[in-house]
Structure 1
Amino acid sequence: MTAAAGIEGSPLADNFDYEALPSGTPLSANLLAGAFAGIMEHTVMYPIDAIKTRMQVVNPSPAAIYNGISHALTRISASEGARTLWKGMTSVVLGAGPAHAVYFGTYEIVRNELVGDQRGAHTLATGAAGACATIASDALMNPFDVVKQRMQIHGSVHTSVSSCAKAIYKNEGLRAFYISYPTTLTMTIPFTAFQFAAYEFFTKKLNPNRHYDPLSHVASGGLAGAVAAAVTTPVDVIKTLLQTRGSATDDRIRRCDSFTSAANVIYEKEGWRGFLRGLRPRVVTSMPSTAICWASYEAGKEIWRRYGRSL
């Protein structure tokens, strides 16, 4: 029996809304729920994310050309070992916890400011809160994402997060960790806005009573992730080029330093189809990872509602 079902018929039932933690709940509860959600989201589907990164690389070597997800899994496992699919995950774990804590903490604060005590779905307010959340979290996560992608690409010589970070800093300077940040925001702000708005929309359809319901959170999160991933894939391709340019052999790619210059290189080399590189693995990754993220976040909040006062 859910917590919501347990209070039906009580004086609290009319005021209960699963989306928001109880009044007076400390911000730390949202931060902990967000950190838990972020780590779960990024680690479970990490091998598919690694494949997406490789498929988005412009001018890959012949050994790094893949015909779909299953072909990539087989080829990488056979030639480089299955462990290669997990290279760089430590960087994600180190960054995802704090970044998602900031992400969901900011989301709750902004959403509460915009919505207040009004119940029901508030799509525009939720989208705006999501956009603010991603600006804050990406500022923290971007360097970790750069290190992760450098370790994911074919032929990466980096064996640890620290050695990779040191090499990037030594060869390219501090700017390399943030050169993709404006492009990242160009992608993640609409991604987050689409994701949060779509999550609200699907939740309203699948869970109109607004009770805690893991199945509806998983379904709504998965559908929201698919929509957001598909729409923002072209910008993700540009971001990948900027974050991996230091490892490229093409001199023009190495000189790319902005959204526009990277987009021009992709278009000139591969046309419009180049901006759809990695679409399938990106959607395949986003559906379960976003579902896991939302389900974990809602579960974390539900645990706090039930046991928070005794913790």
Structure 2
Amino acid sequence: MSEQPKKPLPFVANFAAGAIAGVSEILTFYPLDVVKTRMQLSTQKSQGLVGSFKSIVREEGVGRLYRGLVPPLLLEAPKRAVKFAANDFWGKTYLDLFGEKKMNQQLSILTGCSAGATESFVVVPFELVKIRLQDKASASLYSGPMDVVRQIIKKEGLLGMYNGMESTFWRHLWWNGGYFGCIFQVRSMLPEPKNPQQTLLNNFISGCVGGFVGTALNTPFDMVKSRIQSAPRIAGVPPKYNWTYPSLVLIAREEGLPALYKGFVPKVLRLAPGGGVLLLVVEFTLGVFRQALGPPYI
């Protein structure tokens, strides 16, 4: 008798698993995100990861490494939940659309890119608040996250909360395409797991590789997004950084091609193992849901 395929878990299960994974990841790796943003916003020669850490702690105190934590912490649950739920939704949609029964490499990349594009619409206001609080030049202008929101809306209007939307779209499209595409490929190359521990290890390894590749692809777009979102819009004054691809060319011309990868080291140190943690927690949580719901989900 052939084995019946597992029934797909409901949307709420994928949403909850993504939310739990996102919060776990941000609490573990947030200081690296602060250092990454500072390195990206600086137009001077980089101090490097260790030098930037020391500079922040020496000049502003250890607490500055957690400055702006509230917006991403509030964001991580819906952001990661949307990421994995959207990936699940688009995966099923493309399988039906192309008449495939199993996911392949091309569909996994297309699915990841679509999930990233979907996710980008959720994250922009939270990312904007986080960048303004992390930026040394503007952090003292705000008393906290809600003050950032109030000042942006007052000075730039409601649409000001979506400053950097286009660059955020490209950042998430490229990261998710690389992340989910690599997860599929690496899983297929790893030995078939014989027990739950090996399954968790395979998930961690594939998530780490996916996180590294996604970071390598999207760092220039993340750099541009940080530059765009750090500068308040002033009526009648064209911003130096506006659209993504022209800004990439401008930064490369003024600061050199390596400048497009400012902040890469702390970013990859966060998102490579962070990608592994994300996938590990998601798969573990989904396993708990399957056990709780019982057949036919197991």
**Residue 280 of structure 1: which of 257, 265, 271 is its match?**
265
2:133 to 115, 126, 151: 151
CA–CA distance in structure 2, aligned partners of residues 26 and 260 of structure 1:
38
Structure 1 counterpart of 2:206, which letter?
S
Q: Find 1:244's aligned residue among 208, 218, 230.
A: 230
Q: CA shift at 1:88, angstroms?
A: 1.0
Check conservation: 1:179, 1:257, Cα contact below 8 A: no
Match of 1:184, SS?
Answer: helix
**Which residue identity is paired with 1:189?**
L
Q: CA deviation at 1:95?
A: 1.4
Question: What letter is aligned with 2:277?
Answer: I
Q: CA deviation at 1:43?
A: 2.7
Aligned residue runs from structure 1 range 173-252, under 5 A: 173-208=157-192, 213-246=199-232
TM-score between the two structures when normalised by the length of structure 2: 0.87
TM-score, length-normalised on structure 1?
0.83
1:256–1:231 distance in 2 versus 1, CA, 3 Å: closer
Q: Deviations over 1:81-130 (max 9, x none)?
A: 111011111101111211222221121122123336834x5111111221
Offset, 1:198: 0.4
Counterpart of 1:6?
A: none
- Classify 1:209/1:216 alpha carbon distance in 2 versus 1 (closer, same or farther; 3 Å): closer
Deviation at 1:259, TM superposition (A): 1.8
Instruction: In structure 1, give the amino acid aligned to 2:27.
Output: T
Q: 2:144 aligns with which of 160, 171, 190?
A: 160
Residue among 242, 249, 267 paired with 1:257: 242
Selected match of 1:118 from 85, 90, 101? 101
Rounded to whole Å, the distance in 1 between the matches of 2:105 and 2:54 is 42
Instruction: Tell me the C-alpha RMSD between the 2 structures.
Output: 2.5
Matched residues in 2 for 1:98 and 1:187: separation? 17
Q: Does the 8 A contact of 2:176 with 2:214 survive in 1?
A: yes
Distance in 2 separating the partners of 1:197 and 1:81: 40
TM-aligned CA distance change 1:228 to 1:24, over 3 Å: closer
Please give the alpha-carbon distance, in whole angstroms, between the structure 1 residues aligned to 2:128 and 2:194.
Answer: 38
- Find the aligned partners of 2:194 and 2:62 in 1 and give their Cα distance: 42
- Cα displacement (A) at 1:209: 5.1
Using the alignment, how far apart are the partners of 1:210 and 1:185 within structure 2?
A: 39
SS of 1:43 mapped into structure 2: helix
Q: Deviation of residue 309 (structure 1)?
A: 5.0
1:19 paired residue number: none
Cα shift at 1:285: 1.4
User: Match for residue 137 of structure 1?
Assistant: 119
1:128 equivalent in alignment to 2:110: yes
Give 1:24 deviation, angstroms. 5.7
**1:59–1:246 distance in 2 versus 1, CA, 3 Å:** farther
Equivalent residues of 1:103, 1:133 under 8 A apart: yes
For the 8 Å contact 1:241–1:262, the answer to whether it is kept is no
Alignment CA distance shift 1:160-1:288 (3 Å): same
Distance 1:107 1:203 in 2: 17
3-state DSSP of counterpart to 1:88 = coil
- One-letter amino acid of the structure 1 residue matched with residue 291 of structure 2: R
Is 1:34 the counterpart of 2:14? The answer is no
Q: Aligned pairs, how many?
A: 286
2:84 pairs with 1:104: yes
- Structure 2 alignment gaps of length 5 or more: none
Q: Output the CA distance in 2 between the equivalents of 1:89 and 1:210.
A: 39
How far apart in 2 are the matches of 1:260 and 1:201? 29
The secondary structure found in structure 2 opposite 1:273 is helix
Q: Which deviates further from its counterpart, 189-198 or 40-49?
A: 40-49
1:4-153 map, 5 Å: 14-15=3-4, 22-23=6-7, 25-59=9-43, 66-115=46-95, 118-119=101-102, 122-153=104-135
Contact 1:111–1:129 (CA<8 Å) still a contact in 2? yes
Q: Is the contact between residue 150 and residue 247 of structure 1 (CA under 8 Å) also seen in structure 2?
A: no
Q: In the alignment, is the contact (CA less than 8 A) between 2:46 and 2:262 conserved in 1? A: no
**2:285 aligned to which of 281, 284, 300:** 300
Q: Secondary structure at the match of 1:118?
A: coil
